Amino acid sequence: MSAQWEEIGNRLRAYRLGKNFTANDMAKRIGVSRAALYRLEKGELVKIETLEKLADLLEVSLPSLMGVGVEYYRNAVAFFERMRQLEENVVQVLGNFTPISFLLLSDEYVGHLRTMLLESTGATSPDHADFADYVDRVLDVLKERRGSAVRRRPPMVSIINTQTLERFLHSGLIGRYDLPATVVRKRRALARREVERLVEIFRRQPIGTQIGVVENFAPEQTFQVFEKSAATVVTMSPYRLGDHPNISAGIAMVTSAPEAVRMFKDIIVDQWDRAHKGEDGARMVEAVLARIPA
């Protein structure tokens, strides 16, 4: 099995999960067995006509499904599943995050994130039930991704900037602005705990985890560079998992185009060269905490 066909199978699975199709549903729609579809997702060779049917059903372009040029994801379930796949057997992950990489947040954060996301629509919204189901599907993928990262511990270089940390602390873990003052105070305390935990990570420096913090003017865009043995891939995402999280609006992209890889790696290297690390980084984050009232 070639790496190219394996990656087509990975993309197929990500897009399928994004559309909330079971393997059985999709197999019936294109006229193959469920077992055959699973084999496709494992990277079995497939006729171009079958790929065309799958692309039409999933409402993606054939080049996107085949990984030619740029892969586009307008669904957070599909995108985070794709990220989970890319993190498998990765040599190194380089990332710019706003405010903190999901993989560096506490185990309790998933529950807080669910609360924030549901707040963003409101319980009285007619679409609330459908959105709640979508939120749970996103969180299922994120939990699987987190569990996989804990087991594998992929080497990670993470850049954080002080501006987004301050915003995170000011806002707290909220999904909307019109919350009671008592709730906002509690949510700010939860955000503070996450940043205090980040200070501990700076000081502890876990094996495989390198974190740097920069002051001001860091890119606001969330992106990651996945260095794998076969190829290097860049992901760019509008989806936010911090304060005022967003899993609905925007288009995420994945590309292995050499010019994109080079430019994004250059940004990370530039940020890393001027970032504060270790004890120096811990003191800088503590200074941010000191500026924001508890």
The domain that contains 172 carries what CATH number?
Answer: 3.30.870
- Specify the range with the lowest mean pLDDT, choosing from 10-19, 44-53, 227-236: 44-53
Tell me the mean pLDDT in the region 41-53.
Answer: 83
| pLDDT value at 123 more than 90 | no
SS3 percent helix, strand, coil of the chain, rounded to 5, is 55, 15, 30
Kindly tell me if the per-residue pLDDT of 189 is higher than 70: yes
* Domain of residue 63, residue span: 3-68
Tokens of 264: 């994004």
Burial class (CB in 10 A: 0-12, 13-18, 19+), 74: middle
pLDDT of residue 153: 84
Q: Are both 271 and 214 inside the same structural domain? A: yes
pLDDT band for 60, please (50, 70, 90 cuts): confident
- Residues 107, 13, single domain; the answer is no
229 and 125, same structural domain?
yes
> Among 68, 95, 123, where does a domain finish?
68
Please check whether residues 55 and 90 belong to one and the same domain.
no
Mark which of 14, 41, 68 sits at the end of a domain: 68
pLDDT single digits (tens) 139-179 = 999 999 999 888 888 889 999 999 999 999 999 999 999 99
Q: What's residue 63's pLDDT?
A: 82
The answer to whether the beta carbons of residues 93 and 152 sit under 8 Å apart is no
pLDDT at 193 over 90: yes
The predicted pLDDT at position 124 comes to 52
Q: What is the pLDDT of residue 211?
A: 95
pTM of the shown model: 0.84
pLDDT tens for each residue of 22-40 = 988 888 998 888 888 888 8
For strands 92-96 and 156-161, give the pairing.
Answer: parallel
**Strands annotated E in the chain:** 70-73, 92-96, 156-161, 209-214, 222-227, 232-237, 252-255, 276-277
User: pLDDT-derived band of residue 219, with 50, 70 and 90 as boundaries?
Assistant: low
Higher-pLDDT residue of 237 and 47 is: 237
Q: What is the mean pLDDT of residues 11-31?
A: 90
